[in-house]
């Protein structure tokens, strides 16, 4: 089946620094990639949708200058958390799909900001 690789799986950073998370579709070209965050014991919250050839569409309440999304190619999307703060500590997950295909999820990145 289709594989989505997310890296790193966990990261600890100091407050004020930036962290980049990568999401790669390994065996298919993803026309759409999604980024989510999930707080403990809560459901997924969609942060942004990134379609091939266009800028990411951010959900209401998500700061696009803080969470920079780059859909560099059909197989790679990155999420950069800029000037991270402790409240940004969360579980970040990406998923990818092509057209009407099923969603394929990365394994997530646990970010801890100290």
Interface residues toward another protein, by CB under 8 A? 31-32, 34, 38, 42-46, 49, 51, 57, 91, 93, 95, 99-105, 107-108, 110
Q: How far is the CB of 29 from another protein (least distance, A)?
A: 14
- Residue with smaller CB distance to another protein, 15 or 101: 101
Q: Strands of the chain (E only): list them.
A: 4-7, 10-13, 19-25, 32-38, 45-51, 57-58, 67-73, 76-81, 90-97, 104-105, 109-113
Q: How far is the CB of 83 from another protein (least distance, A)?
A: 25
Tokens of 30: 């993803």
- Residue with smaller CB distance to another protein, 76 or 82: 76
- Residue with smaller CB distance to another protein, 18 or 57: 57
- Residue with smaller CB distance to another protein, 82 or 98: 98
Q: How far is the CB of 111 from another protein (least distance, A)?
A: 12
Helix (H, G, I), strand (E, B) or coil at 65: coil
Residues 30, 43 contacting (CB under 8 angstroms): no
Q: How far is the CB of 71 from another protein (least distance, A)?
A: 12
Distance CA 94, CA 15 (A): 23
Rounded to 5°, angle at Cα 91 from 102 and 34: 35
């Amino acid at each position: 089946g289709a594989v989505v690789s997310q890296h790193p799986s966990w990261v600890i950073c100091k407050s004020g620094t930036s962290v980049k998370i990568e999401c790669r579709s390994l065996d298919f070209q993803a026309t759409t990639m999604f980024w989510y965050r999930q707080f403990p014991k809560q459901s997924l919250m969609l942060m942004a949708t990134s379609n091939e050839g266009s800028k990411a569409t951010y959900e209401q309440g998500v700061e696009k200058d803080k969470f920079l999304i780059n859909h560099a190619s059909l197989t790679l999307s990155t999420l950069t958390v800029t000037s991270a703060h402790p409240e940004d500590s969360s579980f970040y997950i990406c998923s990818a799909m092509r057209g009407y295909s099923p969603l394929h999820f990365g394994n997530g990145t646990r970010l801890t900001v100290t």
